[in-house]
Amino acid sequence: MLISFPEQNFNNFIIPAFQINEGEIVVIELSGGALFQPLLSKLKSLLTGTVADSPIEINSEFRFVEQFRESFLNYHFAPVTIGKYHQKHANKDNPVYEKIYNTPSLARNTKVNTLAGDVRRKLELYTTLSWTNHLIFDLTSADPKGGTDLFGVVKQAITPNGAAILIDLCDEFKDQCSTFVKVNYIGGDIRSDSVKLISKSK
């Protein structure tokens, strides 16, 4: 068992208990709209072990596939290229990050900010996989086909001893995962700036 997650209440959103083992993919379906990002942020903190006194049992470190961010100055005066992105973020001892170059027309001097959303997510995913095949990811900015491609990359990458948690807006991969977890709203007042974590065991 890599992670054991007891039932949690995020500001009137219930996340059921689940576990994840080697070779498995867990899909967590969150509500869309303004609360998706706050809920995603809370889940990321819990599942990567950065919450103090967390009730989550984590026996193997998971890494979140971070989205590319570029400063205003870089965007206008020194755009980050794929090569520069890899230089800063990739594990050079694991060449899996270079699989992004299998995408037609991409090269080391291609500017990251010119990439379509799904291609940029694939860049971020392969780069994360150069460090670990225990990961947490979402499909933000990817179109439906791109999301399917990304899910396929992850399924292949976690075999046989990896594991992944997809945090998604819908249930499109419900029948392709090991465990499907639907986050349910139980009523009450909600605000996007005040998603609070409360352990059900307390």
User: Tens digits of per-residue pLDDT, 131-149?
Assistant: 999 999 999 889 999 999 9
Residue 123 has pLDDT above 60, yes or no: yes
Co-location of 30 and 126 in the same domain: no
- pLDDT for the residue 37: 85
Q: 200 lies in a domain?
A: no
Co-location of 3 and 58 in the same domain: yes
Q: 194 lies in a domain?
A: no
101, 116, 131 - which closes a domain: 131
* Span 75-100, pLDDT tens digits: 889 999 999 999 999 999 999 999 99
Q: DSSP state, 201?
A: T
Do 68 and 123 form a contact (C-beta atoms < 8 A)?
yes
Residue 59 CB neighbours (<10 A):
8
Q: 116 lies in a domain?
A: yes
Residues 78-89, buried b or exposed e (16+ Cβ, 10 A)? eebbbebbbeeb
Co-location of 55 and 72 in the same domain: no
Residue 184 CB neighbours (<10 A):
12
Q: 202 lies in a domain?
A: no
CATH (domain of 163) = 3.40.50.300
Q: 31 lies in a domain?
A: yes
Q: What is the pLDDT averaged over residues 175-202?
A: 65
Q: 114 lies in a domain?
A: yes
115, 131, 147 - which closes a domain: 131
112, 131, 150 - which closes a domain: 131
| Boundaries of domain holding 75 | 68-131
Residue 57 CB neighbours (<10 A):
13
Q: How far is residue 70 from each of residues 46, 57, 81, 143, 194, measured CA to CA in Å? A: 26, 34, 11, 21, 27
Give the number of domains in the chain: 2
Q: What is the mean pLDDT of the chain?
A: 90
Cα–Cα distance for residue pair 148/79, rounded to 1 Å: 29
Co-location of 110 and 157 in the same domain: no
Q: DSSP state, 198?
A: E
Which residues 6+ apart lie within 8 Å of 71 measured at CB?
Answer: none
* Span 137-188, pLDDT tens digits: 999 889 999 999 999 999 999 999 999 999 999 999 999 999 999 998 887 6
Cα–Cα distance for residue pair 193/168, rounded to 1 Å: 20
Do 26 and 20 form a contact (C-beta atoms < 8 A)?
yes
Co-location of 26 and 126 in the same domain: no
